[in-house]
Structure 1
Amino acid sequence: MSDKQPYDNVEFDWVKLVADLNPDQETFIEKCKRKFNENPFVPIGAFGAIGALSYGLFSMYKGDVQRSQYAMRARIGCQGFAVAALIVGFIYGPPSPATRDNR
């Protein structure tokens, strides 16, 4: 057998490196809040699409074909709204930290 331990923390050196490079890393909740404040229409469109999809699947399960089709069309509209909001956010939104430093 070799003298090397199966887990000698070599695989986890990158975690320490990332922590050293970015000591003030934001949490997931903080990042979600920041992203929502930067462009609130993208999550609104995404949640609308999820709601329309859920309603459409429920209507399909119940056998109401007309409402199911209406909900699926509404889902496409919500997805289009979210994509349009994403594109507008990229064009008119705040600059990224990398481009902010180069100005």
Structure 2
Amino acid sequence: MSSDTDISLSSYDEDQGSKLIRKAREAPFVPIGMAGFAAIVAHGLYRLKSRGNTKMSVHLIHMRVAAQGFIVGAVTLGMGYSLYQEFWGKPKP
């Protein structure tokens, strides 16, 4: 007699940590982009007190542009890496 409890759905069984690790293996530039974004935000918060005469809005705009630039760069590199793997990284049959 077969039971439905033997069938396991892997997408429902994995927790957030293992899902993040699996996604990082599939697309390695996603965690790099997340880490870069966090580093830029941390740097911006650190430099917030010593910004001098710069207005708060200008400081925040500069940090936003830097964070967005890093994310766009990571996405671009990820797409290039993906294209390389798909078209040039495969052995020819």
Give the Cα–Cα distance (whole angstroms) in 2 for the partners of residues 51 and 36 of structure 1.
18
Q: Which amino acid aligns with 1:52?
A: I
The reply to whether residue 75 of structure 1 matches residue 63 of structure 2 is no
The answer for the alignment partner of 1:63 in structure 2 is 51
Give the total of aligned pairs: 71
CA-to-aligned-CA distance 1:15-56 (integer Å, 9 cap, x gap): xxxx9x854322222211110011111110121011112101
SS at match of 1:62: coil
Pair member with larger Rg: 1
The answer for the alignment partner of 1:34 in structure 2 is 22
Deviation of 1:74 after TM superposition, in Å, equals: 3.3
Gaps of 5+ in 2: 87-93
Greater RCO, 1 or 2 (C-alpha within 8 Å, sep 6+): 2
Q: Report if the CA contact (8 A) 1:49-1:79 is conserved.
A: yes
Which of 32, 36, 40 is residue 48 of structure 1 equivalent to? 36
Q: Which amino acid aligns with 2:72?
A: G
Runs (4+) off by over 4 Å: 91-94
Gaps of 5+ in 1: 1-18, 95-103
Q: Provide the identity percentage.
A: 29
> Could you say what the CA RMSD is over the residues aligned between the two structures, in angstroms?
3.3
Q: Which amino acid aligns with 2:51?
A: G
Give the Cα–Cα distance (whole angstroms) in 1 for the partners of residues 73 and 27 of structure 2.
12
TM-score (norm 1): 0.48
